[in-house]
Structure 1
Amino acid sequence: MFDSLQQIQTLEELIIWGGYALLFVIVFSETGLFAGFFLPGDSLLITAGLIAASGELDIVPVMVTLSFGAAMGDSTGYFIGNQLQRNFLSKKETFFFRREHLEKTERFYEKHGSKAVFLARFVPVVRSFTATLAGVVNMPYQVFLFYSVSGSLVWVVTFTSIGYFLASLFPEVVDFVHYIILAGIVLILLNTLRQIRKHTSRTGKKP
């Protein structure tokens, strides 16, 4: 297994290696484990659509797996926030939990209300904390679940379809799309390094 992992060089190869289980884990972690600020997110969905168009995966199971993972991640985040309540807002900063990300999510939530759960699906980083914040403020779970499931479905179907139909209708531009995805991943990695540096500098300061 480790030998095959060492041979993986692209996100596409990683998805093919991990299959549906990996797709579920990544999307679930983005909201359920607050890891959205460095996971591929939108790029993952587009790449999954590209792979499905090539026949390596089936597009319907891809969409179902990703939608289920996104909704399950949301519900996990919601119940974490609901259990921790206001203690969550005073949580000590860690690599995964950033105060600035929570504050950004709070502003987004105040602006859009309950619809924020749906809209946040399309906003990187914000989508990692909106579900938890909904739990903190005790949004009725039935309302939350409606916006969460509908947002997950629209988000997944939209981005996987972009990859799928682009590869199906214009196969000659697939390589160009891969460069765009690669650029997105590089930006994510650079942002992650910036966050690590910032966190290191803060924790290294003397009280």
Structure 2
Amino acid sequence: MNNFDWTQLVNPEFYILMDVGGVKIGLLVILFIIFAETGLFAGFFLPGDSLLFLAGIYSELLMRQVSMGSDFADVVLLSSLVSVAGVLGNMVGYWFGVKGGTYLYNKEDTFWFKEKYLLQSRDFFDKYGGKAIIFARFLPIFRTFAPIVAGIAAMDKKKFMFFNVVSSILWSFSMILAGHYLSSLFLDKFGIDLKKHIEYIVIIIVLITTIPVLFKLLKKRVHL
């Protein structure tokens, strides 16, 4: 920690390789980050998609202490744990929305909370309804505020939980399995170790996930 650099906070590899006293705690850190990003205001800046993709690449390291003795079983267990963290995070977000209500719209902007993100998520939710919970999982910022908006809009709890569980499973399994098996494919077929190209992977994932958001914002400005 003596060489700590604040820029590491947006580097998903930093969290995955984190250790305390020689003990790897990457798995616990990942689960907390996914919970925070999908349920707490403070989580909107955290590296969700790239973190899960890299978790798939580093699945063997992450699951070493709780390995089930099978590569496939370990990846499935990792994805399942992340799914649970995502479901719990969204439940907390929904609870904030139900309890906070109009207070959130009158809250002053801070580093951790931006009203514009809440308004953008509300428009997104109004357009897609329950499916917004699924779509939002794959979009930075929106996945943090979508469950909050669902709570404010008094979305039926059972309906919310259905989309919550489905979206969390789709997001976690698709991102982690993609990272795990693409890493194996590139290494076996092309001799390319993706662990040596983490920076490029993160940049590509960030571009893929933010372009739809930027497009939506630009389109909205054009119509103003």
Shorter-chain TM-score: what band?
Answer: 0.7 to 0.9
Q: Unpaired segments of 5 or more residues in structure 2?
A: 19-24, 64-73, 208-224
Q: Report the TM-score when normalising by structure 2.
A: 0.74
Q: Does 1:31 align with 2:38?
A: yes
* 1:39-92 superposed Cα distances (whole Å, 9 cap, x missing partner): 00100000000001x454231232122111111110001011101222222222
- Of 157, 161, 166, the residue aligned with 1:141 is 157
Please tell me whether the aligned partners of residues 20 and 65 of structure 1 are also in contact (alpha carbons under 8 angstroms): no
Query: Paired residue for 2:68?
Result: none
Q: Report the TM-score when normalising by structure 1.
A: 0.79
Q: Does 1:162 align with 2:183?
A: no
- Indicate how the Cα distance of structure 1 residues 19 and 55 shifts in structure 2: closer, same or farther if over 3 A, else same: closer
Query: Paired residue for 1:178?
Result: 198
1:3-82 residue pairs with structure 2 within 5 A?
Answer: 6=4, 11-17=12-18, 18-52=25-59, 54-57=60-63, 58-82=74-98
- Indicate how the Cα distance of structure 1 residues 151 and 181 shifts in structure 2: closer, same or farther if over 3 A, else same: same
Q: Alignment partner of 1:100: what SS? A: helix
TM superposition shift of 1:13: 4.8
Query: Paired residue for 2:69?
Result: none
Q: Alignment partner of 1:170: what SS? A: helix
Please tell me whether the aligned partners of residues 56 and 176 of structure 2 are also in contact (alpha carbons under 8 angstroms): yes
Deviates more, 1:58-67 or 1:157-166: 58-67
Q: Distance in 2 between matches of 1:55 and 1:96?
A: 32
Q: Distance in 1 between matches of 2:205 and 2:44?
A: 11
Kindly indicate whether structure 1 or structure 2 has the higher relative contact order, using CA contacts under 8 Å at least 6 residues apart.
1
Alignment coverage as a number of residue pairs: 183
Please tell me whether the aligned partners of residues 70 and 152 of structure 1 are also in contact (alpha carbons under 8 angstroms): yes
Q: Distance in 1 between matches of 2:181 and 2:83?
A: 19
Query: Paired residue for 1:90?
Result: 106
Cα RMSD for the two superposed structures: 2.4
Q: Distance in 2 between matches of 1:114 and 1:56?
A: 33
Q: Unpaired segments of 5 or more residues in structure 1?
A: 188-207
